[in-house]
Amino acid sequence: MIETTLTVRTDAPIGTISPRLYGHFAEHLGRCCYGGLWVGTKSHIPNYGGFRADVVDALKALPVPLLRWPGGCYADHYHWRDGIGAPDIRPTRLGMSCGLQVEDDNSLGTHEFLALCRMLGAEPYLAGNVGSGSPQELCDWLEYCNSSVNTTLVRERRANGSAQPFAVPLWGVGNENWGCGGNYDVVDYAREYRRYATMLRHVDAKAELVACGFNDEWNIEFLKTNARHLGLVDHFSIHCYWIKGGPETEFSEEQYYTLLAEAQATEDLVIRTAGYLQQVPDGKRIGIALDEWGVWHPEARPWGPDNAIHREPITYEQAGTLRDALATAIALEGFHRQCQVLTLANLAQIVNVLHAPVMTEGESMWVTPTYYALQLHTPHIGQTALPVDITHSVSAGAGDSSIHAVSATASRHEGGTAITLVNRHYDQPASIRFTAAGSHVTQALLLTADDPRDGNSAQHPDRVKPRPLPVQADGTGHWQVDLPAHSLATVVLAD
Ligand code: AHR
């Protein structure tokens, strides 16, 4: 049994955990949008205006405070006018992303996506087309969505059913423009960004614009090239996929720790990027948009480590296990610690594709362990992040993958404190004593499984799900819980 002691500190609040850090990403890729979220109004599967009712209900309970759409790589092929107006006259286009080509009937377009956001209570984040679009096309989309001036485009929006502007707050100026979004050189993209952003600002000065970042070299050069124009950048996008953890389910103990270490290193990427952004002149604050993050297993990609085991054809679908849920919780610890510089984050992707919290197969729908990991963090959303000192711990794993066996994140809300604990150890339970303000427990839930390779499926939808966790109290602000190996738990305390 591992013994760990932790202290939740109230003397040095870190900042507010924006709901935007719990964002999601829906791309027209594989069965994420079509077949996952959207089945159309004529489907025999119960739906709300074309969106699967079971999926929407599960997502509402997650929750989903922010949703990015329509790509990904798909965004730089997407022409928004294809997705407005009467569905039966919308054109069928070649839907392209990540090497897939499909018939795309554009039945899920702007109005439908924004109706989904309203159902979910999510802020919309639209990714604009730079690679095959133009500044005018993106300006028109912005005007169509956000303007209330009585223009032809606004009249068209009204005729299509939305009298009020959609007020879409976030606009991406391209996606991965160093790669699928046009293979730009950084200086070319930086200049292109400046042109787009200048024009977009004229249409809606309040729209928050997201520039495409990449690696250190790109990021430094982008900021240098636009040094006199950084007022045009509100958020700077970086992506982080964990790819080194070996197979989705048949991983070794070493690969288990490798994935958890990779998840932890997401924070290092944020810190490094923040370092560049903090050096920009005139105190201009540019937030980091980690607008694609999560695990991408080798079965679901034809590139990167272990890709020889990829499945044919590539569907971008993978099995989700408890290991992925633990990795999620570890990443979220870093998001909370970096909440002063990380302004939004989107798990990739929301249904069926990659690190999905929700899966579908025909009429079946189930949620993955990652769904529960996210849901166990709900008490932290919108609250004040607090540091947690690990006063006594042991490490787990070996070599580069060595990590603290137990870690935690905490937050303060009106009238209480919440703490989420992760026992990362592969096979050792942990006895955890923690000090935190509170007089009694209002909620304590544990997520674990017999094996970190366990997950849910259409046949076994409830194999991995949270259960109550006993918490001992000594009445003086000291608490004690026993966490099984490979588990996570959230304890909510009231003052
Ligand atoms: O999420 C899948 C793909 O990963 C996205 O389309 C792209 O932005 C990234 O490379």
| pLDDT tens column, 67-112 | 999 999 999 999 999 999 999 999 999 988 898 898 999 999 999 9
97 C-alpha to center of ligand 1: Å? 8
73 C-alpha to center of ligand 1: Å? 6
The rounded distance, in Å, linking the Cα atoms of 437 and 476 is: 9
Atom of ligand 1 nearest to the CA of 175: 8
394 C-alpha to center of ligand 1: Å? 37
First to last CA, the chain: 30
Whether residue 350 has pLDDT greater than 80: yes
Out of 123, 208, 292, 317, which one is annotated catalytic? 292
The rounded distance, in Å, linking the Cα atoms of 80 and 129 is: 9
Long-range contacts of 12-16 (CB under 8 A, 24+ apart): 12/386, 12/387, 13/384, 13/385, 13/386, 13/412, 14/336, 14/337, 14/339, 14/340, 14/384, 14/385, 14/386, 14/387, 15/339, 15/340, 15/384, 15/385, 16/339, 16/382, 16/383, 16/384, 16/385
Top CATH class of 2-9+386-494 equals mainly beta
318 C-alpha to center of ligand 1: Å? 15
Q: Any idea which of 104-113, 114-123, 216-225, 392-401 has the lowest mean pLDDT? A: 392-401
Atom of ligand 1 nearest to the CA of 74: 6
The rounded distance, in Å, linking the Cα atoms of 220 and 301 is: 29
Band (279; pLDDT cuts 50, 70, 90)? confident
Mean pLDDT to the nearest integer, 434-459: 97
Mean pLDDT to the nearest integer, 181-207: 98
Q: Are 4 and 405 in contact (CB under 8 A)?
A: yes
Q: Are 295 and 455 in contact (CB under 8 A)?
A: no
Band (210; pLDDT cuts 50, 70, 90)? very high
pTM for the full predicted model: 0.97
Q: Is 97 in the pocket of ligand 1 (CB under 6 A)?
A: yes
Question: What pLDDT score does 477 carry?
Answer: 86
Nearest to 351 by CA among 20, 26, 23, 21: 26
Q: Is 348 in the pocket of ligand 1 (CB under 6 A)?
A: yes
Nearest CA to ligand 1 atom 9: 72
Question: 416-423 and 487-494: which strand pairing?
Answer: antiparallel
Q: Is 98 in the pocket of ligand 1 (CB under 6 A)?
A: yes
Check if 176 is active-site. yes
Out of 123, 176, 248, 262, which one is annotated catalytic? 176
72 C-alpha to center of ligand 1: Å? 5
Q: Is 73 in the pocket of ligand 1 (CB under 6 A)?
A: yes
349 C-alpha to center of ligand 1: Å? 9
25 C-alpha to center of ligand 1: Å? 10
Question: What pLDDT score does 399 carry?
Answer: 78
Question: What pLDDT score does 475 carry?
Answer: 82
Q: Is 176 in the pocket of ligand 1 (CB under 6 A)?
A: yes
Q: What pairs with residue 294 in β-bridges?
A: 241
Question: What pLDDT score does 392 carry?
Answer: 72
Atom of ligand 1 nearest to the CA of 73: 6
What average pLDDT does the chain have?
A: 96
Q: Any idea which of 354-358, 399-403, 458-462 has the lowest mean pLDDT? A: 399-403
Question: What pLDDT score does 476 carry?
Answer: 85
Nearest CA to ligand 1 atom 2: 72
Atom of ligand 1 nearest to the CA of 354: 1
Question: What pLDDT score does 238 carry?
Answer: 98
Pocket of ligand 1, candidates 175, 183, 351: which has the most ligand atoms within 8 Å of its Cβ, to mutate?
Answer: 175
Atom of ligand 1 nearest to the CA of 292: 1
Q: Is 27 in the pocket of ligand 1 (CB under 6 A)?
A: yes
Whether residue 398 has pLDDT greater than 90: no
Q: What is the topology classification, in CATH, of domain 18-381?
A: TIM Barrel (3.20.20)
Q: Render pLDDT for 35-58 as a digit per residue (tens, 0 to 9).
A: 999 999 999 999 999 999 999 999
Q: Is 71 in the pocket of ligand 1 (CB under 6 A)?
A: yes
The rounded distance, in Å, linking the Cα atoms of 175 and 238 is: 10
Q: Where are the domains of the chain?
A: 2-9+386-494, 18-381
Cβ partners under 8 Å of residue 364, min gap 6: 458, 461
Q: Is 260 in the pocket of ligand 1 (CB under 6 A)?
A: no
81 C-alpha to center of ligand 1: Å? 23
Rg (CA), the chain: 22
The rounded distance, in Å, linking the Cα atoms of 172 and 68 is: 9
Whether residue 278 has pLDDT greater than 90: no
